[in-house]
Amino acid sequence: MATIEIKPTDTEGASNDPRADASITLPDKVEMKKTREGFGRALADLGEQDPRIVVLVGDLSESTMVHWFAEKFPERFIQVGIAEQNMMCIAGGLAAMGKIPFLATYGAFASCRSADQMRVTVAYSNLNVKIGGAHGGISVGPDGATHQAMEEISIVRSIPNMSMVVPCDFWETYKATIAVAKHNGPVYLRFGREDVPVVTQKETPFAFGRGEVFAEGRDLTIIACGVMVYEALRARETLAAQGVSARVVDLHTIKPLDRALIERCARETGAIVTAEEHQVHGGLGGAVAEVVVQRHVVPMELVAVHDRFGQSGKPAELMDAFGLRAKDIVAAAERVLARKPKR
């Protein structure tokens, strides 16, 4: 068993409300559950809480798990069909009329195919549209390169007014969906297709715009998002066996970024490894590096997909093929520690 201490962190613009320290236990065999189920369950609950919630989908009701909302609130559900660009514009119109629209489709279609509509119709007018980018990264597996969106973070975070959250498991996706519904402004929520390890609990702290320290450490910090949070925690166990103390940060909100936490980790541990299921260019690693180079320069290593398209295969096989495992984080940690100045 590995115990991960989760402690509240101070961030720019974060709430000052006191919270008790929480902890979770990561067993050797963890529960597996779909992040997209967290999205669907949260939408069904949101529909009961707020009549302004409207859900749109691009012919993927069960794939994105919005069918639970459709069954409960058919009058607030719109099946647009295979017309993602049109769906983005419809969502913008609904937001302009005071609704809170959630649209759901594959991340490849939400971020790439509909990028112009997201930028001009939604973000330019700062409309309160929530974009559910399902099947993100390589989780769509056998569907191959065309459906494996590994560019969403770089696209979305470069657009003014857009916010972005990449939750790590079922519970965090559920809580993130609830949180973005309360946030005023356009938000992109990225989640996957396959069952992934559940590393948080219902009670685990979550706040939009704030990263969480899942494990303390003094020698380096591993900053991860999405499914790579689990891999980071496993990497920490391996490093601990080698006498290396690694801090693990779940940086679920990519934009707005928890700059204060990143700077604190750089100052306290002196080295950073980022881990993401995304292209290395413009993703989580790039976002963290932008803060590090401006606030407190330390050696960094980036674990990510290195400038290549996806391919067909089982998601677990692709994680191995693209170097997105705990062992790859460990190797990156060894490299960054070799460059870390001696104190």
Catalytic residues: 84
Reduced to 3 states, what is the DSSP secondary structure of residue 145? coil
Between CA 228 and CA 239, with CA 233 as vertex, the angle to 5 degrees is 120
Residue-wise over 28-55: b if at least 16 C-beta within 10 A, else e?
Answer: eebeebbbbbbbbbbbbbbbeeeebbbb
Overall size of the chain counted in residues? 343
HEC assignment per residue over 269-316: HCCEEEEEEEECCCCHHHHHHHHHHHHCCCCEEEEEECCCCCCCCCHH
From the list 168, 275, 140, the residue with the least C-alpha distance to 220 is 275
Q: Dig out the tokens for 255 from the structure.
A: 């934009």
Reduced to 3 states (helix: H, G, I; strand: E, B; else coil), residue 162 is: coil
- Strand 187-190 and strand 272-279: the pairing is unpaired
Q: Is residue 192 helix, strand or coil?
A: coil
Smallest Cα–Cα separation from 176: which of 214, 212, 207, 202?
207
SS3 call for 195: strand
Amino acid at 284: L
- For residues 181 and 46, the answer to whether their CB atoms sit within 8 Å is yes
- Token reading at 269: 């541990």
Cα–Cα dist 274/309, whole Å: 20
Give Rg (Cα) of the chain: 19
DSSP-derived secondary structure letter, 200 = -
